[in-house]
Amino acid sequence: MQTYTYVSQGKFELTEKPKPVLMHERDAIVKVTLASICSSDLHIKHGSVPRAVPGITVGHEMVGIVEEVGSAVSTVKPGDRVTVNVETFCGECFFCKKGYVNNCTDKNGGWALGCRIDGGQAEYVRVPFADRGLNKIPDSVTDRQALFVGDVLATGFWATRISEITGDDTVLIIGAGPTGICTLLCVMLKNPKRIIICEKDEIRIKFINENYPDVLTVLPSECLNFVQANSEHGGADVVLEVAGADSTFRLAWECARPNAIVTVVALYDKTQALPLPDMYGKNLTFKIGGVDGCDCEETLKLIAQGKINTEPLITHTYPLSKIDEAYDLFENKKDGVIKVAVDCQK
């Protein structure tokens, strides 16, 4: 079968591999119908994910059809359309029972697919702990509508959930990339008083203005003054940092009012400094980390109810045979790209 493989730092290639087989009673084999490219794939490509294993098939954002299940899998069956969670998790360890599935202590726990074991930019993928990591797609929801449930939408939903947003809040989201937009969609469900998005890319700003006209947009160079002018207490009540640029960590806490919550879900290429003398007295609460993707069933229901719609984020679709072109488009932000869908059966 065709797979997109991490060959070495800076090099991905479309290669042939054997179709995966069940290796454990909790495994499932999924025929991948649609996959997507994530910025985390680019982090692997450029060597900023040290745990990524050369030779693995990349891709951790996908939907498909269950083809085969292990003897211990009872939640899905062959023929089911499913989303695939970015994380694999046993459901039985201390962290899983607390809902911290990103920290599952199993050897395949956490972010394994497309990082430490073969992922889903391929015709087929083996999913460990399929009884936990696969969610059936409602009949009324298309593959394209469900494509981001297991990763960027899961991240946005989790970030929103832990940010304790209320109806009186001014919420600042830094970054209007795919994860930032998914975060916006989830923040909108909380109906805060005001939402501001900080973004430097003109195409992304245009996308926000056209699709979500009630959301305020601002450039990074103007963000601090703009937030202070459009909030009641000297800054945002909640800041969600989703950009991961060199300057955005500092911008996040600078734009927060005293005693605010700053939620950081961005993955940085470089070490970030926490200048405690500069921020002393702001009494901020930081929430930092990777997604605990355990709300996929809930987000699928919200999609089915018409309360979340991520399909507009898919601006381009490529067959798997032309995935090199898709990566070039996505990495270099060509042609107004937001997200790319990859048809893995073509």
Give 244-280 pLDDT, tens digit per residue: 888 999 999 999 999 999 999 988 878 888 888 888 8
Q: How far is CA 64 from CA 136, 143, 152, 274, in A?
A: 10, 8, 17, 42
Q: Distance (Å, rounded) from C-alpha 330 to C-alpha 239? A: 26
How many structural domains does the chain have? 2
Are residues 188 and 111 part of one domain? Answer: no
Residue 55's pLDDT is 95
Instruction: Select from 65, 70, 76, 2 the least CA-distant residue to 32.
Output: 65
Q: What's 277's domain CATH number? A: 3.40.50.720
- What is the sign, positive or negative, of the torsion defined by CA atoms of 49, 52, 58, 60? negative
Please tell me the number of Cα atoms within 13 Å of 32 on its side-chain side. 34
Are residues 203 and 172 part of one domain? Answer: yes
Are residues 187 and 93 part of one domain? Answer: no
Instruction: Point out the domain boundary residue: 273, 288, 303.
Output: 288
Are residues 109 and 76 part of one domain? Answer: yes
Are residues 323 and 299 part of one domain? Answer: yes
Q: Distance (Å, rounded) from C-alpha 28 to C-alpha 43? A: 27
* Polymer length in residues for the chain: 346
Domain span holding position 25: 2-151+292-343
pTM of the model: 0.94
Are residues 235 and 134 part of one domain? Answer: no
Instruction: Point out the domain boundary residue: 241, 271, 288.
Output: 288
Are residues 324 and 284 part of one domain? Answer: no
Residues 26-80 have pLDDT tens digits of 999 999 999 999 988 998 998 888 889 999 999 999 999 999 999 999 999 999 9
φ/ψ of 214, rounded to 5, equals -80, -10
Are residues 161 and 64 part of one domain? Answer: no
- What is the sign, positive or negative, of the torsion defined by CA atoms of 224, 226, 227, 231? positive
